[in-house]
């Protein structure tokens, strides 16, 4: 009886652990926001998979993995780690990963790897691919890969404070000093600078990273408004309904995303050509809502399809 019970228990444990998501050890906390957004759709014991080592990941059975985010660092492109050597081959993900590609961005230097003949076949096997931005979508569709614009999963983050009195503070996230000074000169509220750069002492500590990420997200949830040049400050603010002004930088990875918020260049901000009142911040545009709802539906359906449970309810 004990043997039968143990066998059944082990079987259930393995089945319950067959979901995975991408995690990071980068210096950018915005990466962690993307992991946090994914985790609320998955079982608590889902498996973490290091983005830079997806090709080397091994598990005793295939792991249904949401593969989202910015790809990627390799031994030849943007390698940033001093603690680990890069894998010899960075792509495609290993056979232990059964991927669900959504909200994904492929950098220009990485596209020749992604779009090589053998890797095109790999993507076709798991298509359609949800592209985070229009630039990635265009690159995939040019090669005939079934794909669609998904937007970013950070748009699905939830603000648990339904009746919150916002703090009388403006957060300026990764802005240059002239922009900070300009904002402060145009508001009676304190302007507090924040950064998405992770301190070196917590970079390799998963628990500390998570606390750092959750603290920043909580600040965004409660802020009077946020002004930022960071994509993953702007998108969570939309999800939280926190008024946000995005200072754009004409990066292709922003195509299809920066338009979701009120935005301007730093030159337009400094010369007064922007549509935002720092003292009475306007509500955000609602262009993101259809994208958010579609992402929630797609991810929820995918998890339920691959789950042995009848449902995994998601709070929208």
- Mean pLDDT value of segment 291-300: 98
Please choose, from the candidates 42, 81, 23, the residue with its C-alpha nearest in 3D space to the C-alpha of residue 210: 23
pLDDT tens, position by position, 83-117: 899 999 999 999 999 999 999 999 999 999 999 99
pLDDT tens, position by position, 16-28: 549 999 999 999 9
Strands 191-194 and 170-173 turn out to be: parallel
CA pair distance 173, 298, nearest whole angstrom: 31
The rounded mean pLDDT for the chain is: 91
pLDDT tens, position by position, 146-194: 999 999 999 999 988 767 789 999 999 999 999 999 999 999 999 999 9
Residue 109 DSSP class = G
Token pair 């995690």 in the structure block, residue: 23
pTM of the model: 0.91
């Amino acid at each position: 009886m004990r043997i039968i019970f143990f066998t059944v228990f082990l079987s259930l444990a393995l089945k319950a652990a067959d979901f995975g998501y991408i995690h990071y050890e980068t210096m950018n906390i915005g990466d962690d926001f993307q992991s946090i957004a994914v985790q609320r759709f998955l079982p608590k014991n889902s498996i973490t998979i290091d983005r830079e080592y997806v090709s080397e990941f091994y598990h005793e059975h295939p792991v249904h993995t949401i593969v989202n985010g910015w790809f990627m660092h390799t031994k030849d492109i943007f390698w940033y780690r001093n603690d680990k050597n890069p894998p010899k081959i960075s792509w495609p993900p290993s056979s232990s990963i059964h991927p669900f590609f959504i909200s994904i961005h492929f950098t220009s230097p990485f596209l020749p790897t992604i779009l090589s003949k053998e890797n095109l076949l790999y993507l076709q096997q798991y298509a359609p691919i949800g592209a985070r931005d229009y630039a990635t979508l265009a690159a995939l569709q040019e090669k005939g890969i079934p794909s669609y614009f998904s937007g970013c999963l950070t748009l699905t983050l939830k603000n648990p404070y339904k009746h919150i009195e916002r703090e009388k503070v403006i957060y300026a996230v990764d802005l240059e000093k002239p922009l900070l000074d300009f904002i402060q000169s145009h508001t009676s509220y304190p302007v507090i600078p924040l950064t998405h750069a992770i301190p070196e002492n917590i970079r390799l500590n998963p628990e500390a990273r998570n606390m750092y990420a959750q603290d920043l997200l909580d600040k965004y949830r409660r802020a009077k408004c946020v002004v930022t040049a960071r994509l993953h400050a702007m998108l969570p603010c939309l999800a939280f309904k926190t008024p946000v002004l995005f200072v754009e930088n004409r990066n292709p990875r922003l195509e299809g995303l920066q338009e979701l918020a009120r935005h301007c260049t730093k030159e337009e901000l400094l010369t007064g050509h922007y549509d935002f009142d720092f003292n009475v911040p306007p509500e955000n545009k609602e262009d993101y809502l259809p994208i958010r709802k579609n992402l929630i539906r797609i991810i929820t359906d995918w998890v339920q399809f691959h789950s042995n449970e009848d449902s995994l309810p998601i709070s929208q």
